[in-house]
Amino acid sequence: MTPGAPSPERGVWVSRWGFVLAAAGSAVGLGNIWRFPYIVGENGGGAFVLVYLLCIVFLGLPILVAELGMGRSVQRTPVGAFQLLAGRRSAWVGLGWLGVAVGFLLLSFYSVVAGWMLRYAFLAVSGALSRGGVAEVQQTFGTIAGDGAGSVAGALVFIGLNVAMVGAGIQRGVERWSRILMPALLVLLLGLIGYATTLDGFAVGVAFLFRFDLGALDRGGLLEALGHAFFTLSVGLGGMLTYGSYLPGRSGVVENAVAIVLLDTVVAMLSCLLVFPLAFTFGLPPSEGPGLIFVSLPMAFAQMPAGGFVGAVFFVLLICAALTSGLSMLELAASYFIDERGWTRRQAVTRVGGIIAVLALPCALTGSTEVFGSGFEALVGRSYFDFLVDLVTNWLTPLGGLGFALFVGWRLGPGVRRGQFDEGAPEAVYRGWLAVLRFLAPPAIVLIFLRGIGLL
């Protein structure tokens, strides 16, 4: 491959909506289905939602536009993009390397969680989840998380699915499967909400979601809204830059970014309309967190008529969400070797998938071995799995987002930066976007970082 030339293995999005569904799938992930409802639940409902929507418009959307625009303009993935724009020896290139590293690390623990969901889906489909009593269901998560061999197998299956899909290419792999998985996710979600309307707690759940109680929203809630608006769109790590690099040169960045944000927000709100009625019907606290998905809701499924079927549909929904995010993580990690090393897509995806599988082993074995569980916790104060999640979400992701906002806002020349924005956009819109990147996004991301490491 000629240095500086795009790889013939890159590909391009066939349609605008194929790209939007793929990028929205990357953003939606598991966080919008299990995390968003519980942070809404613990921060007062509707008042939190309003603040979150403001944060996503004035923080998440501008950074997303910047990342997509940078990818579209240079037609390269993170490392190559920063090398072209800042120089091969510039310190800014470290942001590209950071994105590649996070792609490996993120999928290594994400695959373990997705593997647990595969196990839950199997138990639900087989009827085992609904046949057991409440006590048995309550113990299921501990059994699954503590089963090292099962956790490894589940993670490997999930990684294998991603390798098969991403290895087929952008058009025949990532785009094709995104056009299948995202509509399937929406259909399953709407179907479950239809079921939720028949439950006694539906009206209470809807009222809770749209209740406007400013008194329940403290400083912690404001920072939580700010943080989720940043994390939910998968910005700051280079994944959206990578997806943007497959856009045709004249594709509208702003309109695509708005569509991605809208779809991501719709899924988050619909998830609340599912989780809250289930929680209130069966007396579950809506602010319970991850335990709501792995313990409390399966307990509810065990008590309801047709609970086995409903539980199976629910966990298939979660797997669809996990896969759409997994595709972008693997593409982010593999794209460097395609663009910069000249590997074929099949070589890059297979080798990167193998490395991620090895990295996933300590995460999968955290609950079953002392080395990565209690032994690791004795050294650093937490298990290996929790340490890696904390490293990626509270340290590396904000660092990448901050660096990206500073690079586009201050380092790029005005001509280059304006060229990355939509040509037909009004000048006032461009200037507002630039002001956010320069003066609003950096301090906001610093606040997110300080909260993540426990200093706020």
**pLDDT tens digits, one per residue of 216-246:** 788 888 998 998 888 899 998 899 999 999 9
Distance of CA 369 to the CA centre of its chain: 28
Of 16-20, 26-30, 445-449, the least confident: 26-30
What phi and psi, each to the nearest 5 degrees, are found at residue 232?
Answer: -65, -25
Quickly state the pLDDT bin for 134 (edges 50, 70, 90).
low
Rounded Cα distance between 71 and 22, Å, is 15
Q: Indicate which CATH number applies to the domain containing 276.
A: 1.20.1740.10
Mean pLDDT over 345-350 rounds to 97
**Is 356 exposed, middle or buried (CB count within 10 Å of its CB: 0-12, 13-18, 19+)?**
buried
Three-state SS string over the chain comes to: CCCCCCCCCCCCCCCHHHHHHHHHHHHHCCHHHHHHHHHHHCCCEHHHHHHHHHHHHHHHHHHHHHHHHHHHHHCCCHHHHHHHHHCCCCCCHHHHHHHHHHHHHHHHHHHHHHHHHHHHHHHHHHCHHHHCCHHHHHHHHHHHHCCHHHHHHHHHHHHHHHHHHHHCCHHHHHHHHHHHHHHHHHHHHHHHHHHHCCCCCHHHHHHHHHCECHHHCCHHHHHHHHHHHHHCCCCCCCHHHHHHCCCCCCCCHHHHHHHHHHHHHHHHHHHHHHHHHHHHHCCCCCCCCHHHHHHHHHHHHHHCCCHHHHHHHHHHHHHHHHHHHHHHHHHHHHHHHHHCCCCCHHHHHHHHHHHHHHHHHHHHCCCCCCCCCHHHHHHHCCCHHHHHHHHHHHHHHHHHHHHHHHHHHHHCCHHHHHHHCCCCCCHHHHHHHHHHHHHHHHHHHHHHHHHHCCCC
In this predicted structure, the answer to whether residue 203 has a pLDDT above a threshold of 80 is yes
Residue 184, domain member (yes or no): yes
Is position 10 within any domain? no
What pLDDT sits at residue 424? 73
In which domain, by residue range, is 73 found?
A: 16-452
Report how far residue 237's alpha carbon sits from residue 403's, in angstroms, rounded to the nearest whole number.
Answer: 10
pLDDT at 249 over 70: yes
Which whole-number Å values give the CA distances from 51 to 58, 104, 108, 426, in the listed order?
A: 11, 33, 32, 27
Distance CA 10, CA 248 (A): 12
> Residue 1 domain-assigned?
no
What pLDDT band is residue 290 in, cutting at 50, 70 and 90?
A: low
pLDDT at 321 over 80: yes
pLDDT band at 35 (very low <50, low <70, confident <90, very high): confident
Average pLDDT along the chain? 89
Is there a domain that residue 7 lies in?
Answer: no
C-alpha distance from residue 389 to each of 80, 103, 111, 205, 437 (Å): 27, 13, 12, 30, 27
**Considering the domain boundaries, does residue 346 fall inside one?**
yes
Note whether residue 9 is domain-resident: no
Tell me: pLDDT of 3 over 50.
Answer: no
CA–CA distance, 47 with 110 (Å, rounded to integer): 30
- Region 83-91 average pLDDT: 94
Confidence of residue 2 (pLDDT cuts 50, 70, 90): very low
At residue 288, the pLDDT reads 66
Rounded to 5 degrees, φ, ψ at 212 are -105, 95
Which residue is listed with tokens 């426990």? 454
In tens, the pLDDT along 323-344 reads 999 999 999 999 999 999 999 9
pLDDT higher than 70, residue 121: yes
pLDDT of residue 137: 72
Backbone angle region of 169, left / alpha / beta, with phi > 0 → left and psi within -120 to 50 → alpha? left
Give the pLDDT band of residue 309 (cuts 50, 70, 90). confident
Distance CA 367, CA 307 (A): 28
Q: Is residue 62 part of a domain?
A: yes
Residues 249, 255: Cα–Cα separation, whole Å: 14
> How far is the CA of 223 from the CAs of 39, 340, 395, in angstroms?
11, 38, 16
Flag whether 133 is in a domain: yes
Q: 271: Cβ–Cβ under 8 A, 6 or more apart, which residues? A: 32, 33, 34, 36, 37, 189
Number of domains in the chain: 1
pTM over 0.85: yes
Q: Which two tokens stand for residue 350?
A: 């297979």
